[in-house]
Chain A
């Protein structure tokens, strides 16, 4: 990446959930701030801003990333997916989302979107994790509300019964 001037604002263009969007960011602006305050999506939640809680998790060019540890300018020219991409265009929840609903896998929902993004990438590689593997993977996320029970049940149920 070429050298950027710290006080200038740069155009950042990305394919966000299948649509090209452009905004402007100073070099130090976080991707999480950019998505929320520059683009205006509402799923990239900031829980800790230091990489521990996972609430800000998004997928950048196929790789799961923390929005709070990524700079917006790093995401220029990339393809970014957030939780807004999971339901169908006409607003039908995906089977994984429906499983969360069925098993009460969320309360305040603040951690949920990040968890869904991690799961989306993870389950592609590991479609049938054991409960132990799943809990290990989920340990990259903090949830203060659910005690994780509903989350684990939802994912195992989805893996067992998904028709997708």
Chain B
């Protein structure tokens, strides 16, 4: 075991990180800092404002004519130069790096501009004219599966692109024999951990070699590497991927850089120069990736004593507009462990993959676990409620018992080690659950809404590369079986005896360098600061495989083992060299404090560097047949990761940790706020390689889970418009919202990895949202809980739905097509002129042009219908729009109806309104109402700004109308959005 192989001087200790110094000094070079060749061009991407529309035409002429623009590419170019991305399912779901023929979600890339700098490239986006024909979108996952729903991929013919049924044990029997069947319908929202650093890709096409040289903060898995090279129509070795060792967070999301890698590669090929692209936050939030939202219909077969004898799952995941590899992973990554922490033998599962007109889903920390456990742990809570039992007793009753490991779960997971009941009791004791229960009683006696929640989950790590095979029918997957997960690391000792390490782990901030240095230091009898770890990664030079990358918590159970193996090879080689001089058998030598020596006679030793040096300086003196130099690569794939068997059982991951959480929360009845009073989280993640870093992973997962439970959700309007495009709309918890949880550890070493370590970075993403939801269910005595539990939702549960305030109601109800982001308003103003004069101004194109804020030109294009070119903006975004406005239902000079739309690179809007003119002393009272529906960027970023912006804009229009009619033609003045920004304090 680990303890024997290693001195364990550093491993297992809270060693401070070797990464920190350079990071704290601000000297780390992230992707955006990597050097680029002179002449490197910069890209900006035009994105769809529509959720679903046909692309009728794209005119790039004006954009191409802007000085500094090198090229503009559209879907047609991309289709000609590349293949559609390979996907896991055998379905005609074709995606290229730019939209071809139609757009399927707001934010989908439609065209790319390459220019001398990013600023010019973005300017040029505004000059691309795309004509769309809007189609009805499929937005809600439950509506998307109905017969008359709009189809996202016509060639498939349905939005349900995969349905697979699985049965383990005898669920029918279990349900027939149950005392009670408990049912639940559960929804899990769309969210993402949104790393602070966005995607960065620099691609340099080398014509002579037909090679793409790419630097990017891509995080793997490198299963996507062949997807990219095939799309680019080159051999794998002609796509050189380099990833820097410094990355501003990944959390799974950075696998989704791969379509952009292909796009930027194509752009570089087209312009014959390197091209760089840096994603901005709006692009990230709207179009990078989201964990799929899931609908689960769940049933539990229950005995009166609380024993659960069977589960039925009907899981439906919403993958958005495309299935990018490795999708639909979240539905299958947890498959082997679908019974969670419980000893349940009977299980039936239906997995459905649904497409909608939303951002494509992807890997996000937790990867299917948060969704699945939200189902399991909510229903366990409900079982307790229905039986009148304590939820913890129901958990205890059903846990996989101690002493049965390795334990084969119903759907195939081979759980390596643990003591679940022991872990629960330890957490109960160390976390003082009894005191918490007393506190609940006291709080409730004082009239407070206080609840306690529990969650017990199994946390998998190091995915089996064959986990997705279960989506294919048995015969098909048997023809091409997949399984395993290879990890690689290399240890090198140079001529002066200094040690360096490389590995294929592609870190995103976890501290891999530190842990690898701890391992190698222990094996070679050195100190971590003597080990130089460099985790820059290069497919052209490093050992790698499809499993390479940073995901599914694979580092601690896989990369570390490869590194251990490499270090042990180095040790064996140096021991043989030393044994020649020391006259002691190699396997009896010890490596201590920079020396290789005879443990029974420590005086008989040589320096580590001297032994290593001889492999470089005097290779002729090496033992027989020994190769010179000291450079060893360790590669490892655990044999336990097999492809699915004939019963559809699959061991989806290598190691399985255990997490048990409980918490106390108070719901503020007035505000609807959920206050976390106490949170205890117990982790058995096998051997802890570095407790300081392990706790860091728990804290990070916990904080994101707080976001998932209480704040974070990607919100779409009914028309598919994306409504959470800034960090002011997509709310991320700050230091104020995240309490410190009490962490309890237990260590049951994994018997399947030589170091005994399991994953620890994802557990709380799975346990915490549902633990908090159970606590709220307990506090409010409600069943149906929708995440995130925002104050609005909680208030609605306590007080009923909030009614919109009266004064916001329009005088006349104006119908709108969908309910995307709809702004409604009313107002009135006084104009010191006769109604007829006002009327005539409204009908005079010249006068109207002067009145409309930001209007550059206005033409009469038909009877009372106008086309205008206007500049508008909200908050940080601003753009030029084409407006079409028509006047109807005209009663001179009393009233008229205005209707029309705006379209521009930032989005589209449709709206209508009424104007009423009424003679009042010495002038006209003008009253109006309006309803405006928005899509595209403006809808995404505006949340909290738009309402005010629209009001200001409309008001300004009528003020200017007043001024115009009153004979004081409006001067240029400042655009309305400047006033708005000023009032929001964003502009001086």
Contact = CB atoms under 8 A, between A and B. Distances in A.
Interface of A: 26, 28-29, 36, 41-43, 45-53, 55, 69, 82-84, 86-87, 91, 93, 97, 100-102, 104, 106-113, 116, 134-136, 138-152
A47 B281 contact: yes
Given A42-B29, A139-B736, A141-B734, A47 B196 contact: yes
B703 interface: yes
Given A48-B727, A53-B727, A144 B249 contact: yes
Contacts of B248: 45, 47, 108-110
Contact of A87 (B25, B728, B735, B737): B25
A86 B25 contact: yes
B21 A147 contact: no
B262 to A, nearest CB: 24
Contacts of A109: 19-20, 23-24, 28, 246, 248, 509
Contact of A97 (B24, B33, B119, B197): B24
By Cβ-Cβ distance, the 3 closest A-B pairs, closest first, are A43-B26, A108-B509, A109-B23
Contact of A104 (B17, B196, B728): B17
A48 B20 contact: no
Interface in B563-594: none
Given A109-B19, A110-B249, A139-B734, A145 B26 contact: no
Given A87-B24, A104-B692, A144 B735 contact: no
Contact of B26 (A47, A84, A135, A147): A84
A52 B731 CA distance: 10
B735 A104 contact: no
B307 interface: no
A142 B196 contact: yes
Interface in B854-881: 875-876
Nearest to A117: B26
11 contacts: A48-B281, A49-B280, A52-B727, A55-B196, A86-B25, A101-B20, A104-B16, A107-B510, A108-B509, A110-B30, A146-B699
Interface string B686-716: 0000001101101111111000000000000
A152 B16 contact: no
B762 to A, nearest CB: 14
A53 to B, nearest CB: 6
Nearest to B696: A104
B511 interface: yes
Contacts of A107: 249, 509-511, 696, 700
Given A42-B29, A53-B727, A149-B699, A101 B196 contact: no
Given A48-B726, A109-B28, A147 B119 contact: no
Given A86-B24, A108-B509, A110-B249, 19 more contacts: A28-B119, A29-B119, A36-B32, A36-B33, A42-B28, A45-B30, A45-B197, A47-B281, A86-B25, A104-B692, A107-B249, A108-B195, A110-B509, A111-B196, A113-B26, A140-B734, A145-B700, A146-B699, A148-B703
Interface of B is mostly: loop
B17 A101 contact: yes
A138 B700 contact: no
A142 B247 contact: no
Contacts of A112: 23-24
Given A29-B119, A109-B19, A110-B196, A144 B26 contact: no
A53 B704 CA distance: 15
A36 B26 CA distance: 12
B271 to A, nearest CB: 20
B24 A150 contact: no
A6 to B, nearest CB: 10
Contacts of A69: 986
Nearest to A142: B732
Contacts of B32: 36, 46
B197 A83 contact: no
Given A42-B27, A112-B24, A149 B740 contact: yes
A106 B24 contact: yes
Contacts of B693: 104
Interface residues of B, number: 56
B249 A108 contact: yes
A112 B24 CA distance: 7
A48 to B, nearest CB: 4
A84 B24 CA distance: 8
Of residues B20, B695, B703, which shows the largest number of chain A Cβ atoms within 10 Å of its Cβ?
A: B20
A152 to B, nearest CB: 6
Contact of B735 (A51, A83, A135): A135
Nearest to A106: B23
Interface string B22-65: 01111111101100000000000000000000000000000000
Contacts of B728: 50, 52
A60 B100 CA distance: 47
A106 B246 CA distance: 13
B25 A145 contact: no
B249 A145 contact: yes
A101 B696 contact: no
B197 A47 contact: yes
A95 B25 CA distance: 12
Contacts of A142: 196, 727, 732, 734
Contacts of B24: 83, 86-87, 93, 97, 100-101, 106, 109, 112-113, 116
Of residues A101, A104, A142, A147, which shows the largest number of chain B Cβ atoms within 10 Å of its Cβ?
A: A147
Interface string B323-365: 0000000000000000000000000000000000000000000
B556 interface: no
B750 interface: no
B22 to A, nearest CB: 8
B845 to A, nearest CB: 30
Contact of B700 (A48, A97, A146): A146
Contacts of A144: 193-196, 249, 251, 700, 703-704, 732
A42 B26 contact: yes
Nearest to A140: B734
B508 interface: yes
Given A97-B24, A110-B248, A26 B119 contact: yes
Interface in B103-125: 119
Contacts of B20: 100-101, 106, 109
B25 A84 contact: yes
Contacts of B17: 101, 104
A91 B26 CA distance: 12
Nearest to B877: A50
A42 B702 CA distance: 29
B42 to A, nearest CB: 10
B986 A51 contact: yes
A141 B197 CA distance: 14
A72 to B, nearest CB: 12
B387 interface: no
A50 to B, nearest CB: 5
Nearest to A152: B735
A74 B696 CA distance: 39
Nearest to A150: B696
A87 B23 CA distance: 11
Contact of A101 (B21, B33, B732, B736): B21
Contacts of A148: 699, 703, 734-735, 738
A9 to B, nearest CB: 11
A147 B703 contact: yes
B699 A138 contact: no
Contacts of B27: 42-43, 84
A74 B112 CA distance: 31
Contacts of B699: 146-150
Interface in B457-488: none
B738 A147 contact: yes
Contacts of A86: 24-26
Contacts of B119: 26, 28-29
Given A51-B986, A145-B249, A146-B699, A42 B511 contact: no
A28 B196 CA distance: 23
Contacts of A147: 698-703, 738, 740
